[in-house]
Amino acid sequence: MRRRKIAVAAGCCLSFLLGTLLNVLFIPGFDPHQQQPRRGVTPAFAGSPLYWPAEDRESQRLELARQIRERYEEVVRYQKHQAPAAAARRLVRPLERRLMDLAQQRTSSEQTLRLEKGKAPQAESRGGSYPEAKVDLALNPPLLGCRDIHNVTSLHYLGSGYTKAVYKVVLNRTLAVALKSVDFGGHDIENCVKQYAALEDCYRLASYKIVKEMILLQRLQHANILQLYGYCYQDSNDIPDTLTAITELGSPLEMIQLLQTSWEDRFRICLSLVRLLHYLAHSPLGSVTLLDFRPRQFVIVDGELKVTDLDDASIEESSCTSNRDCFIEFPARNFTLPCSVEGRCRNMNEKRNLYNAYRFFFTYLLPHSAPSSLRPLLDMIVNATGELHWGIDETVAQLEKVLHLYKSGTYLQNATWMPKAEYQQIPEAAIPDENYRCWPSYHHKGCLLSVFDVGEAIKVCENHSQCKAFVLTNQTTWTGRQLVFFKMGSNHIVPDPDKITYVKVTG
């Protein structure tokens, strides 16, 4: 029994190490040519394709070829859509200039990958016509490629899903980016190889999902969609043209941590999301739905929410002959949408996105610890989206209204409130110590909150029993509100040209 346990443990460790090794070996740019060629994954179980009769193996080969062809044709459909004219005319941003400086001079063959006509290598030996591995993405500069990821530093594995593995690297010791490649230990490759025993073709099937995502990242130009910086096709061991996508790097969206942040930051996440969904509902490709809509599909870049995974996005609108065909099912709710005279379920993509935004984001992030005068409007937004009474146009308009009320200070208007105490203003002064903690706070060891003006700071101080003073800083939040330290005393005041201190003198 003990030997059996040791054998099982050793087998588990060996499987884990093999999956990790395959992922590292098959990322282009990481010294692939020095690795020994691998001759594919050979299933060792009796029911594997290697033990099937010849006619069954041929049937399975044709089925895999059909799936590859269908996925390739899906890529081509998305590729044929033109990018928005506004995106083509946009000005070069500072980061893009930085990418231009970083990217080395390339030949025209390196700038654009060409979609060659004819059969792929070995197509005739397979007995069928396979789509080409390389797809012409026609990316506008700046474009990063294989040369840029040959000598990366600070390689870190970030995570993986069914299809892709994601790594963080630093290029030229200055620019941190994300690299996405097919995960050889992932669900898609593992199941495909078990069924078809054809590693190269299984890789090609999975890689088209990355190509689709790259095309969408290029075609859909929006502030809340991750930027595509470039890509690299490169032979790796016995698989030609393995693909690595180079994208903007973001921080994973951690909902538990997000719940501990200020309402202002949580509202920003929700506002970013509805702006994204509004764009997707009216995109140049038509209405785009995110079929795999979960928090893990998003990242945070400089406080803004951005969608990072688009390989499961779709522009297909469901056809219908009656309302009964327009049924949307969620774990807790089901909805029936109207069938239009054109035979399409009206706004199904938009409504699917909106309800997912409600159940994954709005419910948890919008109402809690919001300013009391804004809660009725926020509750109305949550309830309306939860019942799908509103579309995305009305939802984004209402959230923009909340932003205006918050930034302008209109939500603070209350003619009856008067401060209970007087406060002495001390210019160019600060209180370095005498902190107390409050929640939520921008500082983990003190009470640092945002306010619209001094009047709101006084109101906050009077609502905190510990507060005896507060210090206005010269720092602001994304809405332009001023950050203020609230203090439990004023025994030690020091000069500081960038701050103003207010000390409670009565009350």
SS (H, E, C) 224-275: CECCEEEEEEEEECCEEEEEEEEECCCEECCHHHHHCCCHHHHHHHHHHHHH
Phi, psi of 193 (to 5 degrees): -65, -40
Is residue 132 predicted with pLDDT exceeding 70? no
* 3-class state of residue 65 by DSSP: helix
> What average pLDDT score do residues 336-347 get?
92
More confident residue, 12 or 32: 12
292 included as an active-site residue: yes
Q: Which of 24-28, 226-230, 231-235 has the highest mean pLDDT?
A: 226-230
More confident residue, 446 or 413: 446
Best CA proximity match to 295, nearest among 336, 256, 331: 256
Best CA proximity match to 146, nearest among 233, 215, 204: 233
Question: What pLDDT, on the 0 to 100 scale, is given for residue 152?
Answer: 84
C-alpha 384/C-alpha 315 separation (Å) is 25
Average pLDDT of the chain is: 81
Q: What angle do CA 290, 66, 116 make, to 5 degrees?
A: 85
Q: Residue 115 forms beta bridges with which residues?
A: none
C-alpha 285/C-alpha 443 separation (Å) is 43
Question: What pLDDT, on the 0 to 100 scale, is given for residue 141?
Answer: 61
- Here the tokens at position 53 are 């009769």
Question: What pLDDT, on the 0 to 100 scale, is given for residue 83?
Answer: 37
3-state helix, strand, coil in the chain (%, to 5): 40, 20, 40
Question: What pLDDT, on the 0 to 100 scale, is given for residue 289?
Answer: 95
Q: Which among 265, 292, 325, 496 is annotated as catalytic?
A: 292
Question: What pLDDT, on the 0 to 100 scale, is given for residue 236?
Answer: 78
List all residues 6 or more positions away from 483 whose beta carbon is below 8 Å from its beta carbon. Answer: 442, 448, 449, 450, 473, 475, 476, 477
Confidence band of 124 (pLDDT split at 50, 70, 90) = very low
Q: Mind listing the pLDDT tens digit for each residue in 353-384?
A: 999 999 999 999 999 989 999 999 999 999 99
CB atoms within 10 A of CB 310: 24
Q: Mind listing the pLDDT tens digit for each residue in 476-503?
A: 999 999 999 999 999 999 999 999 999 9
Confidence band of 58 (pLDDT split at 50, 70, 90) = confident
> What average pLDDT score do residues 56-71 get?
85
Contact between 473 and 499 under an 8 Å Cβ cutoff? The reply is yes
Question: What pLDDT, on the 0 to 100 scale, is given for residue 322?
Answer: 93
Question: What pLDDT, on the 0 to 100 scale, is given for residue 360?
Answer: 95
Contact between 149 and 244 under an 8 Å Cβ cutoff? The reply is yes
Is residue 85 predicted with pLDDT exceeding 90? no
Is residue 451 exposed (0-12), middle (13-18) or buried (19+ Cβ within 10 Å)?
Answer: buried
Question: What pLDDT, on the 0 to 100 scale, is given for residue 82?
Answer: 47
Q: Mind listing the pLDDT tens digit for each residue in 23-46?
A: 444 444 443 333 333 333 444 444
Residue-wise burial string across 478-494, b where 16 or more C-beta atoms lie within 10 A, e elsewhere: eeebbbbbbbbebeebe
Best CA proximity match to 20, nearest among 160, 212, 119: 160
Residue-wise burial string across 161-183, b where 16 or more C-beta atoms lie within 10 A, e elsewhere: bbbbbbbebebeeebebbbbbbb
Is residue 6 predicted with pLDDT exceeding 70? no
Q: Mind listing the pLDDT tens digit for each residue in 239-262?
A: 888 999 999 999 999 998 898 899
C-alpha 399/C-alpha 35 separation (Å) is 54
Confidence band of 135 (pLDDT split at 50, 70, 90) = confident
Phi, psi of 439 (to 5 degrees): -135, 135
Is residue 120 predicted with pLDDT exceeding 70? no
